[in-house]
Structures are given as C-alpha cells and as structure tokens.
Amino acid sequence: MSFDRATLAAFVDGELDDLTARRIEREAESDAALATEIARHRALRAQLTAHYDPVIDEAVPERLRALFATSDKVDASLAGRREAKRVRFAPIHWGAIAASLALGLALGLRPWMPPASVTEANGTIVAAGPLAAALDTQLASNQATNAAVRIGLSFEDKAGRYCRSFESRSLDGIGCRDGGRWHLERTLQGQTGTDYRQASSGELAAAAAAMMTGDPLDVAAEQQARDKGWARR
C-alpha cells in the first residue's frame, strides 16, 4: 500500500484532487489491503450517519420553535409560517397518529373501531368523526367540562384560514379549515394526566401564537365564524 493513512482518510472524506483520487481508486482494484482500508473508513462513516441522521427527521421540539415565536413580531411571523408549512408534513403527525391508533382511534380502516377522529386526504391528515364535529360546532365559550374534545383557541392564520386548537384524550393539536375540512397542522399525543396536559397546552398555545394573525377570536367572532361554516372572510 503506497498511500499513508492521512491520504487515505482524505480520499474517503472527498478532500483529494481528482487525479490522486483516481490513482487510489485504480490501485485499490489490485491492492486488497488498500481496498479493505477504504472499506473500513467508509463503514465507519456509514455507521455514524446511520446513527445520527434520523435526528434530522425528528420533529423539532416545540420549546425550540417557541423561541422564535416570542423574539420578534415580524420575523417570528415569517419563521412561524414557514415552519408551519414544513411541519405539516413532518413525521410528528404520523408518530402522534400511530400513538392515537394505539390509544383507540382509527384511521377509518377498522370498521369495528369507534368512529375515526382522523383520516387522510390528499396526503395530509384531516379531522374526521367526533373530532371534526367538535371543530365544526363546539364553541370554546360554551363547552361541557367533560366534553370529549375541548376547544382551546380559535384564530385566523396568515393564509386567512380559521384554525382551532383542541385537546382530547388521545390527541391534541391545531386544525385549520381548508377546502371544507379541518387539516391537522399540529398534533401532540393527548393524555389525561394533569401535568402533561398543562405542558402540552403551553406547547399548543405557543404553536398557535406562531401561526395566528391578529388576536384570537373572541366569543362573538367565534360564534359568527361557526355560523358561517368557518368560511374565509
């Protein structure tokens, strides 16, 4: 093997000029020791990236996103909007949905299960069944304390859609009205424990703050929006 370890490492790291790189490639074809050494280096790289890359696909925790919501009104709105767009397709949804499945909700695929609260339409997750009904009709100002779904804030997002945050036994989130459906923009796994509930309420409120334009709807505005079927103004 006529290359030192440093050169070899530089080769694997893509730091060599084309000419030297090609010489190493050619030599590796007939030099088993060299080929093995290259394979070892590549295997380490592959093992490290296989270990750390999944972090990239994790949803960014709300506490990090929330840092942007409070820092600067104008910038936060941009960041929030962009993030909201991105998060719509983030794996957190599927994670939360999988969790809610385990907790007894169904995607409408199991006829023996209670009516599904979420379903999928055109690649996005939308509310269905009792959740959709609650988002359609329930007013935050007038809901039973033991309601299965509790509505939090109703507000308009930057795209002019009506959005409502909700909490339920197995799923918390924010639904936005678009094309006659409630698209679930944010979802968290719901829970009945009070401590967790408070934490998740805070996260939802922070998420809502990042998405909303103006103030949340007051009692009268909420009722008016409902009576008009949540159509954009």
Partner 1 sequence: MRFEEELVELLPRLRRFARGLARDASDADDLCQAAIERALKSQDQWQQGTRLDSWMYRITRNLWIDDRRAAGRRGIHTPIDEAATQVAGDGAAEVEAGTLRGDVDGAMARLPDEQREVVMLVLVEGYAYREAADILEVPIGTVTSRLARGRETLMHLLGEAA
Torsion of CA 174, 171, 122, 162, to 10 degrees: -20
CB of residue 121 to partner 1, shortest distance in Å: 27
Per CB under 8 A, the list member of 32, 48, 109, 231 interacting with partner 1 is 48
**Separation between Cα atoms, residue 86 and residue 88, nearest integer Å:** 5
Binding status of residue 64 toward partner 1 by CB under 8 A: yes
Binding status of residue 17 toward partner 1 by CB under 8 A: no
What lies within 8 Å, CB to CB, of 92 at 6+ separation is 59, 186, 187, 188
Smaller CB separation from partner 1, 85 or 228: 85
CA distances from residue 97 to 55, 82, 91 in whole angstroms, order as listed: 19, 23, 10
Q: How many other C-beta atoms can be found within 10 angstroms of the C-beta atom of residue 202? A: 13
Binding status of residue 60 toward partner 1 by CB under 8 A: yes
**Separation between Cα atoms, residue 206 and residue 52, nearest integer Å:** 28
Binding status of residue 107 toward partner 1 by CB under 8 A: no
Binding status of residue 195 toward partner 1 by CB under 8 A: no
Binding status of residue 55 toward partner 1 by CB under 8 A: yes
Please, what is the end-to-end C-alpha distance for the chain in angstroms?
Answer: 73
Question: Within its chain, how far is the Cα of 33 from the centroid?
Answer: 47
Binding status of residue 33 toward partner 1 by CB under 8 A: no
**Separation between Cα atoms, residue 47 and residue 124, nearest integer Å:** 33
Binding status of residue 202 toward partner 1 by CB under 8 A: no
CB of residue 53 to partner 1, shortest distance in Å: 7
- Bridge partners (DSSP) listed for residue 120: 125
Smaller CB separation from partner 1, 49 or 224: 49
CB of residue 189 to partner 1, shortest distance in Å: 17
Q: Which region, judged by CB under 8 A, interacts with partner 1, from 13-21, 160-168, 187-195, 220-228? A: 13-21
Binding status of residue 76 toward partner 1 by CB under 8 A: yes
Binding status of residue 53 toward partner 1 by CB under 8 A: yes
Count of alpha carbons within 13 Å of 226, Cβ hemisphere only?
21
Residues that bind partner 1 (CB under 8 A): 5-6, 9-10, 13-15, 40-41, 43-45, 47-49, 51-53, 55-58, 60-61, 63-65, 67-68, 71-72, 75-76, 78-79, 82-83
